[in-house]
Amino acid sequence: MTNGKVKVATVWLDGCSGCHMSFLDLDEMLLTIVEKATIVYGPLVDTQEFPEGVDVTLVEGAVANQDDLKLVQKIRQNTRVLVALGDCAVTSNVPSMRNWVPVKKLLERGYIENATETLQIPKDGVPALLRQAVPVGAVVQVDAHIPGCPPSAAAIGKALLDIAAGQPPKLAGMVKFG
Amino acid sequence: MPSKISIRIDGELVHARLGQTILEVAAENNKPIPSLCSMKGLRPVGACRLCLVQVEGLGRMLPACTTPVQDGMSVTTDNAKLRGYRQMIIELLLAERNHVCAVCVANGHCELQTAAAKLGVMNTRYAYRYPNHKVDLSHSRFTLDHNRCILCSRCVRACAEVEGAHVWEIGGRGIGSLLVCELNRTWGESKHCTACGKCVQSCPTGALAEKGFAVEEMTKKPEPVSRIAAFREVRP
């Protein structure tokens, strides 16, 4: 906590950023949340390294490559309450639709068979894909889940305020898969 | 034996008719028990086990859809233990195949999705299997996506009992079970399918759908199938 405010981080792994869009859809509720929370890391702020001593991290997206895996493990170490935000983080959702295809075949299909120019599989500057895209809960302990594609802004806001008040989020009736 | 009997559901004394199931009596008395494989007018099979209830004096739980009521029976339809098992069943169904709700034709109109939300299933504690299941698009009007199938067999029964065509069957065993068309033909090659669509309307998920519908667009109407089934019952 800083100045009595909960330190919140948001992270975007293998997802479409739709959950972050839904987060921004909180509109005027953001004003209430800003009184109780401060965002210390994520696509919405300019911090390079994931900080230590974070109270709540909202993780959007499935864990699909080596970078995702390393980051989510660091997040777990540095976070008190880790929240899987949205279906990709909770169930692996759309990113997992490649999971029954071996990675080599998958990349060949995308970058060679279906490409017309520069027929090569990118290697430099991109992290290696994991064998399967998996939910966050499959690699680290998750403290709360907010399903939905995307979850409603109201559900995200309720979860944050519940956690800020020291309660586990009570989202019954507010969320569904898909 | 009297045809009118009394049973207790969650402690409340209610009237029932002999031959009714616990599921029917509970629904009539405003105590709906969650279920997926049960559909009005179709023979109950107890496939999904979501409607498991406790009957006083019995050590094991019974599926409400296949258990006939008996005079003096006392049934518990909801408590922490039953709820725990029901959540477990939903989670196992979600982990078994690729139910990618976000891109499903039945998103928002799916009984599995609704049951998960109602039972407060927030995630699946079991590892997803990500099986490589096929999609059969060979029929001129309908689609079969095994990824969404929960093997409830409502389509099998609607086709056999209401349409009388016997196109569908469940083949294989255990985790390898699969909905099969006739003797494992593609749906398009079916010799007996009348293209009536009763299976599609009976399907609780997006496994069976009509062509021409995109994500979230496929709504199901099982009620007409149930009505036709009811007409058949009163025939001599």
Q: Does the interface predicted TM-score (ipTM) exceed 0.85?
A: yes
One domain for residues B53 and B132? no
Running DSSP on this structure, what letter comes out for residue B33? P
One domain for residues B20 and B114? no
Residues in chain A with CB shorter than 8 Å from the CB of B131 are 100
**A residues 137-156 lying closer than 8 A (beta carbon) to B:** 137-138, 142, 144-147, 149
Range of the domain at B163: 84-234
One domain for residues B46 and B158? no
Neighbours of B105 (CB within 10 A): 22
Q: How many domains does chain B have?
A: 2
Nearest to A99 among B101, B108, B130 (CB): B130
One domain for residues B193 and B140? yes
Give the pLDDT score at B118. 97
Interface residue ranges in chain B relative to chain A, Cβ cutoff 8 Å = 94, 98-104, 107-108, 110, 113-114, 116-117, 120, 122-124, 127-128, 130-132
**Can you list the positions of beta strands (E) in chain A?**
6-12, 37-41, 54-60, 63-65, 79-85, 129-134, 144-146
Nearest to A97 among B94, B100, B108 (CB): B100
One domain for residues B199 and B117? yes
Last residue of a domain, one of B55, B78, B101: B78
pLDDT tens across B9-50, in order?
Answer: 999 999 999 999 999 999 999 999 999 999 999 999 999 999
Are B118 and A167 spatial neighbours (Cβ–Cβ below 8 Å)?
Answer: no
User: What domains are defined for chain A?
Assistant: 6-97+133-164 (3.40.50.700)
Are B50 and B86 spatial neighbours (Cβ–Cβ below 8 Å)?
Answer: yes
Q: What pTM did the predictor assign?
A: 0.95
pLDDT tens across A83-139, in order?
Answer: 999 999 999 999 999 999 999 999 999 999 999 998 999 989 999 999 999 999 999
Neighbours of A126 (CB within 10 A): 11
